[in-house]
Amino acid sequence: MISVSWKLLLYYQKKRKSTAKCAFFYAIQLAITVAEHYLILMKYLSRLFLFIYRLSVRLSCKCFSFLISGAFASFGKKTTLMYPLRLSGERRIAIGDRVFIGSGSWLQTLPDDHNQSIAIRIGSGTSIAGACVISAVRSVVLEENVLLARNVYISDHIHKYTQANTPILAQGLDKISPVLIKRGAWLGQNVVVCPGVTIGQGAVIGANAVVTRNIPDFSVAVGVPARGAKTMEVVV
């Protein structure tokens, strides 16, 4: 009789432990399921937030571009300028269709006596990544589909530095000479283009290069000063 009672006691203890173990694992499984659903929900919420953010940026930049478009000599369709943007002398700037100019860029034209002709001309399809400077007294031309990486500097002039006792800022401008970047060219990050330079069609200028002389069509130039490294094969 005692033996039977002992066996029944052990049976009920095992059953109770098994039930507690099942409840424990069920709680863990439930927690994992809740965590998975939370992560999925956060993923969709994050995507929704990014979509709203990108849409708001796009719409605000489109509105900004539309509101300032009338100040330029010409302003093409579907062109977007991202603010903040520094502008001066915009009456002498002409921008084509489908142009993108990234935030932090600076476009300026400087006085040239009574000359009121267009000093900066940016061709259709050109893309300027941002934080770029284009400064012109008489002529800086970017033809169609030119690509500029960040921090590119293009100018058709330099500061005078011939008078030792006069601050350079007060000496005026010198070596004013037109700059032409032909269609389809690509300028890498931190490239500097000096006055009087023509960069050929489809040419590639490597990052950090300083362009002081003409670069032929479909060539790759690197270095300081930039020199032709190779010529690309043109497929007809």
Q: How confident is the model at residue 1 (pLDDT cuts 50, 70, 90)?
A: very low
The per-residue pLDDT for 188 is: 96
The per-residue pLDDT for 22 is: 58
Contacts of 147 (CB under 8 A, 6+ apart): 126, 127, 185, 186, 187
- Residue 51 tokens, joined: 């979509």
pLDDT, one tens digit per residue, over 78-125 is 999 998 999 999 999 999 999 999 999 999 999 988 888 999 999 999
pLDDT, one tens digit per residue, over 21-40 is 556 666 777 787 888 888 89
The per-residue pLDDT for 34 is: 84
The per-residue pLDDT for 18 is: 58
Q: Mean pLDDT across the chain, nearest whole number?
A: 88
The per-residue pLDDT for 24 is: 61
Q: What are the backbone angles phi and psi of residue 23, rounded to the nearest 5°?
A: -65, -40
**Percent above pLDDT 90 for the chain:** 69
Does position 8 have pLDDT exceeding 80, yes or no? no
More confident position, 227 or 95: 95
Weakest-pLDDT range from 46-50, 78-82, 169-173: 169-173
Whole-number Cα distances in Å, 49 to 40, 52, 53, 171? 14, 5, 6, 52
For residues 137-153, average pLDDT: 97
The per-residue pLDDT for 52 is: 95
